[in-house]
A and B are shown apart, each in its own frame.
Chain A
Amino acid sequence: MPSAAEILQQIVNGTVIGSVYVLIALGLTVIFGILGVAHFAHGSVAMFGGYLTFWISQKYGLSLYPAMILAIPFGAALGVILELFAYRPVRNAAPINAFIVALGLTMVVDRLNMLLFGPDQLVIRTPYNGVYEIGSIAVSELRIQVVVVTVVMLCLIGYLISHTSAGRAVRAVAQNPYAATLMGIDVNWISLLIFAVSSALGVVAGALIGALLALAPGVGENLVIKGFAILILGGLGSIPGAIIGGLTLGISEALAAGLLSSAYKDVIAFMIMIIVILLRPQGLLGRK
């Protein structure tokens, strides 16, 4: 029987990795909720951001955060390119077409990452190695920063959506794209904006993953599937749902890995998603 301290330690670990999941899910849920696109290549875009952060930090000797900030515009640009050349031509076709385009993009971006940055596992080195001990629980400096960065990003997105004119336009498009168009909102522009912002969030998530765990081929695919599992958990298009779903998945995964079996932790994560679908197809916070 595991001790209470062990369980608590796993919950803390799960909150950290869950924060990264929240960042991924946030980008996905904004794109899905407003544009109705299941942006499957989001994980690969996040990995692109992570790899680019690694490359910039190596090349110019920068630490994690300056390199990440320099990588953000490139990640956002990648998102904009995908929207313009792949998603926009199928916007008015059946939703299944956009999904298949998304699968194609995943293949392309994933393998481009491999060609550009190589197939090796990479870790972004950081100087934040100090460990805080609270009782019997140990948390590294970097892990605390990951949670802080996530909270900052959430506040920033919340502010952008609720307090700026662009955010108001985004909310209008989410509610009713036709009425928004009639009110003079350029839906094409909003669509680009959303992809840029979501991809920027993806870059942050990718950089944090690179510092916390590692960047490797296949990580992006795994990440985006978990992102969608979170959307399903929390309810598609719901921002609070993405936060709660992300933390739930992170914590249950950490508990599963620490207490049951690390080889099957992803299986357990997907089982939770499947059980939620069985009991509440609209998601934990979704409306019927």
Chain B
Amino acid sequence: MKVSGLQCFTLAAFMLLGALPYLVFTPYTIQLATIALMWVLMAQGLNVIQGETGYVSIAQAGFMGVGAYASVLLVQRHGFPVWGAMLMAPLAASMLAAIIGFPSLRVKGHYFAIVTLAYNLVIFITLSNAVSITGGEGGLSAIPRPESLELPYLGTVSFHNRINYYYLTFLTAALGYLGAWLISRSAFGRVLRAIRQNEPLAEAIGVNCRRYKLTAFVISATYAGVAGVLYAHMIGFINPTPFAPDASLNAILAVIVGGSGTVAGPAVGAFMATFLPEFLRVDESTRFIAYGLILIVATIYLPRGLVPAIAEGIAALSVRFRLSGSLTSRPN
């Protein structure tokens, strides 16, 4: 079986992330890595609608918020067990995406991006003002972690333990990654790419573009909802701030810098977007200026993102050194 360079890299990254809690010991780094994995889900979801289908959604943080609040409200108001709420809550984001995507996907390009941004603002304003339900700016606190599980071989697994929560997030992100990979290889993913490249042509061939676009949008929102649920139950407190449009732009940054339309790109971008501010260690204004400049420079000079650029670099090197072509990634 031939293994491409990119697949080797992915496998290595998976193994590294799987062993991470045994490599780093600072609780802060583990928490940061957990958050990065949530952003992998965010970016992977956004990639389905932005990278594959070519419709930029600036509502992802809003969907993340819907998932987070839905889960917390199910637990705190309706007495759901935490696991039950965590499984149900992402569906709230999916349903909302289906409802708002249905009319909005009639418009293309810039229009769609602006409309989704408006939705994110609507969600944000509602979360901030519906005080009786969401607690307004003060938010909701005392959010419980999921219940301990009795697992074969592992015994009682408590999710109050930071490392166990890391593995929960890691497994979810890995499933999300696998899902994104399957989508990109499936007939469904090919139709999405066809829509991105030439929607009128796809329509003329007989593709029901609206149905595909809506499905892609709902999938992207579901990913964001899952990320929101994981976030809420880890931090233990939510308010509207992390679900403002700024955070949606962060997801776009991750997808663009990593490589829009690739499977590995958004994951790499998500880790960069989470860890970069830690390395920059500057105040928030300067950080956003740096973000903005990186986004602009990356769009101008690396329009396809880091992962494709690196893959091409490896391909060029392996040709130069007459290595076997199997090391190069196949163009898709």
Residues A104 and B110 in contact in the complex (CB < 8 Å), given A97-B303, A221-B245, A225-B117: no
| B107→A281 contact, CB < 8 A | yes
| A110→B288 contact, CB < 8 A | yes
B29 at the interface (CB under 8 A from A): no
- Proximity bits, A110-123, B CB within 8 Å = 1, else 0: 11101100000000
| B109→A229 contact, CB < 8 A | no
Say which one of A53-61, A69-77, A265-273 lies at the interface with B. Answer: A265-273
| A270→B118 contact, CB < 8 A | yes
B126 at the interface (CB under 8 A from A): yes
Residue numbers in A under 8 Å from B121 (CB-CB): 222, 225, 266, 270
Say which one of A88-96, A137-145, A156-164, A239-247 lies at the interface with B. Answer: A88-96
| A108→B56 contact, CB < 8 A | no
Main secondary structure of the interface of A (DSSP, over half): helix
Which chain A residue has the least Cβ–Cβ distance from B293? A108
Residue numbers in A under 8 Å from B263 (CB-CB): none
Instruction: Looking at the assembled complex, report how far the CB atom of B276 sits from the nearest CB atom of chain A, in whole angstroms.
Output: 14
Residue numbers in B under 8 Å from A1 (CB-CB): none
Q: Which of B56, B111, B118 contacts A96 (CB 8 A)?
A: B56
B104 at the interface (CB under 8 A from A): yes
Q: How many residues of B contact A (CB 8 A)?
A: 39
B93 at the interface (CB under 8 A from A): no
A86 at the interface (CB under 8 A from B): yes
Q: Which of B126, B249, B288 contacts A111 (CB 8 A)?
A: B288
Give residues 87-141 of B contacting A (CB, 8 Å). 100, 103-104, 106-107, 109-111, 113-115, 117-119, 121-122, 125-126, 129
Q: Which of B106, B110, B300 contacts A101 (CB 8 A)?
A: B300
Residue numbers in A under 8 Å from B245 (CB-CB): 221
How far, in whole Å, are A99 and B50 apart by their CA atoms in the complex?
12
Residue numbers in B under 8 Å from A95 (CB-CB): 109-110
Residue numbers in B under 8 Å from A115 (CB-CB): 285-286, 289
Residues A108 and B296 in contact in the complex (CB < 8 Å), given A99-B56, A266-B125: yes
Q: Which of B126, B285, B296, B300 contacts A267 (CB 8 A)?
A: B126
Instruction: Looking at the assembled complex, report how far the CB atom of A206 sits from the nearest CB atom of chain B, in whole angstroms.
Output: 19
| A273→B293 contact, CB < 8 A | no
Residue from B119, B122, B299 having most chain A Cβ neighbours under 10 A:
B299
| B300→A108 contact, CB < 8 A | no
A148 at the interface (CB under 8 A from B): no
Instruction: Looking at the assembled complex, report how far the CB atom of B128 sits from the nearest CB atom of chain A, in whole angstroms.
Output: 8
Residue numbers in B under 8 Å from A110 (CB-CB): 288
How far, in whole Å, are A107 and B294 apart by their CA atoms in the complex?
11
Instruction: Looking at the assembled complex, report how far the CB atom of B247 sits from the nearest CB atom of chain A, in whole angstroms.
Output: 12
- Proximity bits, B220-261, A CB within 8 Å = 1, else 0: 000000000000000000000000010001001000100000
How far, in whole Å, are A278 and B129 apart by their CA atoms in the complex?
26
How far, in whole Å, are A97 and B117 apart by their CA atoms in the complex?
17
| A103→B252 contact, CB < 8 A | yes
Residue numbers in B under 8 Å from A93 (CB-CB): 303
Residue numbers in A under 8 Å from B114 (CB-CB): 38, 225, 228-229, 232
| B299→A104 contact, CB < 8 A | yes
Which chain A residue has the least Cβ–Cβ distance from B119? A270
Q: Which of A100, A228, A271, A281 contacts B295 (CB 8 A)?
A: A100
How far, in whole Å, are A274 and B295 apart by their CA atoms in the complex?
29
How far, in whole Å, are A273 and B116 apart by their CA atoms in the complex?
12
| B299→A97 contact, CB < 8 A | yes
Give residues 3-59 of B contacting A (CB, 8 Å). 54, 56, 58
Q: Can you pick out 25 interface pairs between chain A and chain B where the beta carbons lie within 8 Å of each other?
A: A86-B300, A90-B300, A90-B303, A95-B110, A97-B299, A97-B300, A99-B110, A103-B295, A107-B288, A107-B291, A108-B288, A108-B296, A111-B285, A111-B286, A114-B285, A115-B286, A222-B121, A228-B114, A263-B129, A273-B118, A274-B115, A274-B118, A277-B103, A277-B111, A281-B111
A residues with CB within 8 A of B:
32, 38, 86, 89-90, 93-97, 99-101, 103-108, 110-112, 114-115, 221-222, 225, 228-229, 232, 236, 263-264, 266-267, 270-271, 273-274, 277-278, 281
B residues with CB within 8 A of A:
54, 56, 58, 100, 103-104, 106-107, 109-111, 113-115, 117-119, 121-122, 125-126, 129, 245, 249, 252, 256, 285-286, 288-289, 291-296, 299-300, 303
If A105-B292, A112-B289, A270-B119 are given as contacts, then 8 extra A-B residue pairs at C-beta distance below 8 Å, sorted by A number, are A96-B54, A99-B110, A100-B56, A101-B296, A101-B299, A103-B295, A266-B122, A274-B100
